[in-house]
A and B are shown apart, each in its own frame.
Chain A
Amino acid sequence: DQQVKQNSPSLSVQEGRISILNCDYTNSMFDYFLWYKKYPAEGPTFLISISSIKDKNEDGRFTVFLNKSAKHLSLHIVPSQPGDSAVYFCAASGGSNYKLTFGKGTLLTVNP
């Protein structure tokens, strides 16, 4: 039973355009959501997070949107840069459950 789902295994965009990565979750107890970026053979690098009391959080080129009623969140990257090419993981935690539950990741390729 996968509680965090990233249904797009890969996404390809042109440099300068917007990248939109999507994530769905099923566990209503989740109240904290994070996005991590991962290069091959490296550990995940924290990008941005959002608490369930918010519906948007912005940090530079990265914005995360949360739709609690739809149990959906998305990461927007504007403008996309070739250095953004990596695997992006959505993760969630909640309540007294401190551990992170990850999706399977989306491979983003930004073409020059």
Chain B
Amino acid sequence: DTGVSQNPRHKITKRGQNVTFRCDPISEHNRLYWYRQTLGQGPEFLTYFQNEAQLEKSRLLSDRFSAERPKGSFSTLEIQRTEQGDSAMYLCASSIRQGETAFFGQGTRLTVV
């Protein structure tokens, strides 16, 4: 399967703990995006990478959130000191160039208890 891969699929954590998610984009795609989806809403943009450069961060991404994409390959999204409001589906997508279709991974469902 050469699609976008996300790990883990599910994560349950206690409030205050740190969590890290991983995304492996489609291999030839140099653009990578993180989105967050909560119940009853569409996905909301969090951040965007072109190769290894993080070009934009949404104001939804508080200081507790950090994303990296070393060497322009896989990406990680870390949430520090998790809060119950962080519970959501975190989605990663990649595209080959601007204006081209973004393909999504299966997401990581985070539950903060």
Question: Using a CB-CB cutoff of 8 Å, which residues 59-108 of chain B contact chain A?
Answer: 89, 91, 93, 98-99, 101-107
Contact assessment for B104 and A36 in the assembled complex, using a CB-CB cutoff below 8 Å: yes
Contact assessment for A98 and B106 in the assembled complex, using a CB-CB cutoff below 8 Å: no
Question: Using a CB-CB cutoff of 8 Å, which residues 30-49 of chain A contact chain B?
Answer: 32, 34, 36, 41-46, 49
Contact assessment for B42 and A89 in the assembled complex, using a CB-CB cutoff below 8 Å: yes
Contact assessment for B104 and A45 in the assembled complex, using a CB-CB cutoff below 8 Å: yes
Which residue of B6, B40, B45 contacts A99 across the interface (Cβ within 8 Å)? B45
A93–B35 alpha-carbon span in the complex (Å): 14
Residues in chain A near residue B48, CB distance under 8 A: 98-99
The 7 closest A-B pairs by CB, nearest first: A102-B42, A43-B104, A99-B45, A43-B107, A43-B106, A44-B104, A98-B98
Q: Which residue of A lies closest to B47 (CB)?
A: A99
One digit per residue, 1 when the CB lies within 8 angstroms of any chain B CB and 0 when it does not, for chain A 42-65 equals 111110010000000000000000
Residues in chain B near residue A44, CB distance under 8 A: 43, 91, 104
Residues in chain B near residue A46, CB distance under 8 A: 101-104
- Of A34, A36, A89, A93, the most chain B CB neighbours within 10 A belong to A36
- Tell me if B109 is interfacial: C-beta within 8 Å of chain A: yes
Contact assessment for B42 and A43 in the assembled complex, using a CB-CB cutoff below 8 Å: no
Whole-angstrom distance from the CB of B102 to the nearest CB of chain A?
A: 6
Contact assessment for B104 and A89 in the assembled complex, using a CB-CB cutoff below 8 Å: no
- Of B42, B45, B48, B93, the most chain A CB neighbours within 10 A belong to B42
A45–B105 alpha-carbon span in the complex (Å): 9
Contact assessment for A99 and B42 in the assembled complex, using a CB-CB cutoff below 8 Å: no
Which residue of B31, B42, B44, B105 contacts A105 across the interface (Cβ within 8 Å)? B42
- Tell me if B41 is interfacial: C-beta within 8 Å of chain A: yes
Q: Which residue of B lies closest to A34 (CB)?
A: B101
Residues in chain A near residue B43, CB distance under 8 A: 44, 89, 100, 102
A101–B98 alpha-carbon span in the complex (Å): 15
8 contacts between A and B (CB under 8 A): A36-B104, A43-B105, A46-B101, A46-B102, A46-B104, A93-B99, A98-B31, A100-B93
Contact assessment for B99 and A32 in the assembled complex, using a CB-CB cutoff below 8 Å: yes
